[in-house]
Chain A
Amino acid sequence: MTTEARNSHPIYFVGAFATGGLLTFMVHLNGELARYGNPLFSSWTAHGTGIIAAVILLLMVHRRRTPRVEKAPNAPWWAYFGGISGAATVILTSTAVNSPLGLSGTLALGLAGQVAFSVAADSWGLFGLPKRRPDRRDIAALGLVVTGAALIILFGRGAA
């Protein structure tokens, strides 16, 4: 058990939870765009407007701050490809949604994939992030959250 694995400041937890809230709105808005166009158009437009928003934010942030001291050494080349993985997600999930799995099946299975990957990523410290061997409490917490999420996805939302 390394100490950095237990960085306990509540701001990270509140931040991560709020990030999940943002995801709800993002999924809703991108879904609206896909309804008028198609999923590829929606994702393409979201990435395009995202670039503009990122540039504006970067200009604002960098104007205020003095240039920072160099942090860690350069990122490996593959670290730049998170966007490919994200773009591919759109294609896979919009294919799965239009199969007998439907939206709820796709969401539930996606949840399973995300959980399996995150446990593997922490256990082995995949892709350059610190290794944090998940303990029994992590797994119990994850089990509760995933069961709750599956309940909402499969039986709660729009099901009644």
Chain B
Amino acid sequence: MTVFILLACLGGVLVGLSRQLNGRLSISTTPLIASFWNHAIGFAALTCLGLFVGGLLPAGAAEAPWYAYLGGPIGVIFVAAGSWVIARIGAVNSALLIIGGQMVTGVAFDYISAVPASFWANATGIVLIVGGMMVSRGRRKVGGSQ
């Protein structure tokens, strides 16, 4: 169990690391070029892994709806935007706002697709997130002084 906990935490660390590296690359190139390399190198690595362990072309894959393949193009925009933002507002603010955006749209998405959800937990969660984003923005309105 400890191993799985460590794996899950490490997964989050790697998300941050990826954003940090792509952000650094985008400073020397452009966010879109950084996103291209992110996908190209990731694709090469996953191809090697797939050839090694198998499962690159699973049987049921052909039945997936066409729109399921749009995750990749959306990912290109996501990585480019993340690289653009992290070089300008830093890792903490980027993480804070991206997590906030993901959670708020995720809850909205669940309600639209009628996934059963706990209203009070979600409502309280969104209030805390919006509050956190206001705290983070509030200081900046006074011109960056402490």
A57 to chain B, nearest CB (A): 6
Closest chain B residue to A16 by CB distance? B97
| Other-chain residue from A6, A84, A151 in contact with B128 (beta carbon distance below 8 A) | A151
- CB of B41 within 8 A of CB of A84, answer yes
A-B pairs under 8 A by CB, number = 455
- CB of B85 within 8 A of CB of A6, answer no
| Other-chain residue from B23, B36, B137, B144 in contact with A54 (beta carbon distance below 8 A) | B36
| Other-chain residue from B39, B63, B86, B146 in contact with A83 (beta carbon distance below 8 A) | B39
- CB of A127 within 8 A of CB of B21, answer yes
A38: chain B residues within 8 A (beta carbon) = 55, 58
Give Cα distance in the complex from A152 to B129, angstroms: 10
Give Cα distance in the complex from A110 to B6, angstroms: 9
Give Cα distance in the complex from A49 to B78, angstroms: 14
Closest chain A residue to B129 by CB distance? A148
Closest chain A residue to B126 by CB distance? A148
| Other-chain residue from B29, B74, B128 in contact with A145 (beta carbon distance below 8 A) | B128
Q: Using known A-B contacts A41-B55, A155-B118, determine if residue A89 contacts B32 with beta carbons closer than 8 Å.
A: no
Q: Which of A64-97 contact B (CB under 8 A)?
A: 68, 71-76, 78-93, 95-96
Chain B proximity mask over A10-31: 1 for CB below 8 Å, otherwise 0 = 1011011111111111111110
Q: Which of A81-119 contact B (CB under 8 A)?
A: 81-93, 95-96, 99-101, 105-106, 109-119
- CB of B92 within 8 A of CB of A118, answer yes
- CB of A37 within 8 A of CB of B92, answer no
By secondary structure, the B interface counts as helix
A134: chain B residues within 8 A (beta carbon) = 92
A15: chain B residues within 8 A (beta carbon) = 81, 84-85
Closest chain B residue to A20 by CB distance? B101
B36 to chain A, nearest CB (A): 4
B50 to chain A, nearest CB (A): 6
- CB of B50 within 8 A of CB of A40, answer yes
A54: chain B residues within 8 A (beta carbon) = 32, 35-36, 39-40, 76
- CB of A53 within 8 A of CB of B76, answer yes
Closest chain A residue to B40 by CB distance? A51
A44: chain B residues within 8 A (beta carbon) = 43, 46-47, 50, 56
B32 to chain A, nearest CB (A): 6
Give Cα distance in the complex from A143 to B52, angstroms: 41
Q: For the A-B complex with A83-B41, A83-B44 known, give 7 more contacts whose Cβ atoms are closer than 8 Å.
A: A9-B88, A12-B89, A58-B32, A92-B14, A149-B99, A152-B126, A160-B117
